[in-house]
A and B are shown apart, each in its own frame.
Chain A
Amino acid sequence: MSLTPTTSQTVGPFFLIGFDRMSQEDLALAGVSGERVEISGRVVDGDGEPVPDAVIEIWQANAHGRYAHPEDFQDKPLESQFKGYGRCPTDDDGKFHFTTIRPGRVPAPDGGLQAPHLAVSVFMRGLLIRLVTRIYFPDDPANEEDFVLNLVEASRRETLIAKKVVDNEGALEWNVVLQGPDETVFFDC
């Protein structure tokens, strides 16, 4: 008989003392190939108030579409400086920020390719278990055929797609809206 998986518990209000060591807001270190992107956003609660005690984690492939993980067997280049992991706690205004690169496309279960995306975990006081979501890139024709985006009703899909920041090349905005009409799509992962 299999064991019962350990149940999740909230990170609570004081997680920063444990999470700070592994915070990483800049993934696009010198020598990493790929188009630089700045992703900024806010976490807001059901009252539209900022959430100052949340933390966002990202996981992504490199610019070639390969993950720095032993089970990615694709014949694509790895880059030793690019680990694909980021973590940023929110500030007093609920804001977070990552500097990274636009990932390449990775395989989809249907045999095609997924659109470029970041896998995202959101933790905070008040959440007993993480929220899982994704960040996609604006104006990417591959979004139309993306296996995961197409699981989401069209009217909510845009919550997963970052928006270009006007007059700021490479800058993107993507927010985590916990409740309400613009509620971000979260996944059962």
Chain B
Amino acid sequence: MRGSEKELPAAARLAAYRRPPPGSQPKHLHPSYVSSIKRAPTKPLIYLPHTISEITGPVFGPESVDVKAFDLTKQHSGEPVGERIIVSGRVVDEDRRPIRETLIDIWQANSAGRYLHKIDQHDAPLDPNFTGVGHTLTDSEGRYRFVTVRPGAYPWKNHYNAWRPSHIHFSLFGPAFATRLVTQMYFPGDALIPFDPVFNCTADEKARQGLIASFDWETTIPDRSLGYRFDIVLGGREATPMEGQGGKR
């Protein structure tokens, strides 16, 4: 056995990422989110053991980042309209290990609930001082921080009188192809959350609650802006004591 392990290329012995616990991620088909009906696959997914292709993934370092892009309120000549907020938190894995220097992209509506996107025809004003796009890298402890304004709620066509709660879109790569995550952050106490089919697509209550930021006095700046904390958890590694250490047992 020892001999055959030695013959394996080092890369074939890398630790896989853990699969999400049942119910913690949405299924593709969620009929109350009407757009999923014609777009969700109908055949069962095929279980893919993680190979080197899934255990590696795109790497974006400081060269991919504009250090000023964490502040969405300073991209124009004036200040955007709206409630100033700071959204900060940590990106960690399931075992609480920080995900260092990982790229986070965010996008959001302005405070009136309008996106700066050609297909958004919601009859709410655009803000000449707000694009609604930012990015940053986490630091050595997995921490990140964005300065922005609270996005407004907006109507959509999913069902009669449908409204999206205020939310900010987050996109992260994490350390591997397997850890890619796109999600949305919501605000505590938003009355629209219980009615939102997107928020409610995840079966597990605890996982759903994880999408709601918490109000945070620690990062609230007196006379200036309210702080919200949103921690993000990416999949952890399988335990593999032999990882890359075949000769050292």
Q: Are A and B associated in one complex?
A: yes
Residues of A within 8 A of B (CB): 2-19, 21-22, 45-47, 49, 51, 53, 57, 59, 61, 67-74, 83-85, 106-111, 114, 117, 119, 121, 123-132, 147-148, 151-152, 156, 178-180, 183-189
Indicate if B45 sits at the interface (CB-CB under 8 A). yes
Partner of B36, one of A21, A51, A127, A147: A127
Q: Which size bracket describes the interface of B in this complex?
A: 35 or more
Indicate if B2 sits at the interface (CB-CB under 8 A). no
Contacts of B133 in A (CB 8 A): 17-18, 21
Most buried by A among B25, B27, B35, B184: B35
Q: Is the interface of A mostly helix, strand, loop or mixed?
A: loop
Task: List, sorted by A's number, 9 A–B pairs whose CB atoms are closer than 8 Å.
Answer: A6-B233, A7-B183, A11-B169, A14-B107, A17-B107, A47-B38, A83-B59, A188-B19, A189-B177
Interface contact B52-A129, CB-CB below 8 Å: no
Contacts of B163 in A (CB 8 A): none
**A140 CB to closest chain B CB, in angstroms?**
16
Interface contact B94-A12, CB-CB below 8 Å: no
Contacts of B30 in A (CB 8 A): 128
**B137 CB to closest chain A CB, in angstroms?**
13
Interface contact A21-B135, CB-CB below 8 Å: yes
**A155 CB to closest chain B CB, in angstroms?**
11
Interface contact B92-A3, CB-CB below 8 Å: yes
Partner of A7, one of B11, B39, B96, B202: B202
Contacts of B27 in A (CB 8 A): 128-129
**B93 CB to closest chain A CB, in angstroms?**
8
Interface contact B7-A111, CB-CB below 8 Å: yes
Bound-state CA distance A6–B184 (Å) is 10
Closest-by-CB residue of B relative to A66 is B11
Most buried by A among B40, B47, B183: B40
CB 8 Å contact bits of B19-58 with A (1 = contact, 0 = none):
1110011111010010111111111011111111111111
Given contacts A4-B94, A128-B36, A187-B47, 16 further A-B contacts (CB under 8 A): A5-B20, A5-B207, A7-B183, A11-B182, A13-B117, A22-B105, A46-B37, A49-B38, A61-B53, A73-B244, A83-B58, A126-B38, A129-B25, A178-B39, A189-B54, A189-B177
Residues of B within 8 A of A (CB): 4, 7-12, 14, 19-21, 24-28, 30, 33, 35-43, 45-60, 64, 92-96, 105-107, 109, 115-117, 119-120, 131-133, 135, 169, 171, 175-178, 180-184, 198-199, 201-202, 204, 206-208, 210-211, 232-236, 244
Interface contact A7-B208, CB-CB below 8 Å: yes
**B2 CB to closest chain A CB, in angstroms?**
14
**B198 CB to closest chain A CB, in angstroms?**
6
Contacts of A51 in B (CB 8 A): 39
Contacts of B235 in A (CB 8 A): 5
Interface contact A8-B33, CB-CB below 8 Å: no
